[in-house]
Amino acid sequence: MGCNFYTLRGKHIGKRSAAGLYCWDCGVPLNREGESGVHKSHADNCTHKGLLSNYCCLSLKKCPKCGNKPKKEDFSNSAVGRELGFNKEPFAKKTGVASCSSFSWAMRPTRAKKLLFVKDEYGRKYSGKTFIEEILAECPIQFYDLIGQEFC
């Protein structure tokens, strides 16, 4: 699940994807493999209860730094809900242990920060400021290894 973002001329900026639980206070993903494991497929070994389960085989039950446990979330306020179109809450950085998104850059961030407007794959337009300050605020995990490559 994810949403691609583009310049108004159609150049790919990158992709936002739901990335599981994250301690927003400590800056730590609740994944046994850390940031590098948030998008790994583990379906063969996983016994989790579904998309919004707080506990699956790679998930930690609490933050390893502060010990906080995940907040209850559903499609109306989670990263998964955002990607599926059910989360209509304003974009915002969260607190405590809650779901997060990652952003995989296709364009250098320094170039993207100069854009006046961007659009998502559904045609919704955002100011460059909204993209950087609000949409990316929900993406504490960012990947830079695909810059310059085509992906979706």
* 39 in any annotated domain: yes
* 16 in any annotated domain: yes
* 84 in any annotated domain: yes
Look at residue 55 in the predicted model and tell me its pLDDT: 43
Which of 104, 81, 108, 107 minimizes the C-alpha distance to 94? 81
* 45 in any annotated domain: yes
Residues whose CB is less than 8 angstroms from the CB of residue 105 and which lie 6 or more positions away in sequence, other chains included: 13, 14, 112, 142, 143, 144, 146, 147
Structural domain total, the chain: 1
Q: Could you read off the pLDDT tens digit of each residue along the chain, which spans 152 residues?
A: 689 999 999 999 999 998 889 999 999 998 876 676 676 655 555 555 554 444 455 678 899 999 999 999 999 999 999 988 899 999 888 999 999 999 999 999 999 999 999 999 999 999 999 999 999 999 999 999 989 887 77
* 88 in any annotated domain: yes
Give the CA angle between residues 75, 77, 79 to the nearest 5°.
75
Backbone phi and psi for residue 37, each to the nearest 5 degrees, phi listed first: -100, 0
* 151 in any annotated domain: no
Q: What is the pTM of this model?
A: 0.84
Domain range for 34: 2-143
Kindly state the tokens that stand for 93.
């950085």
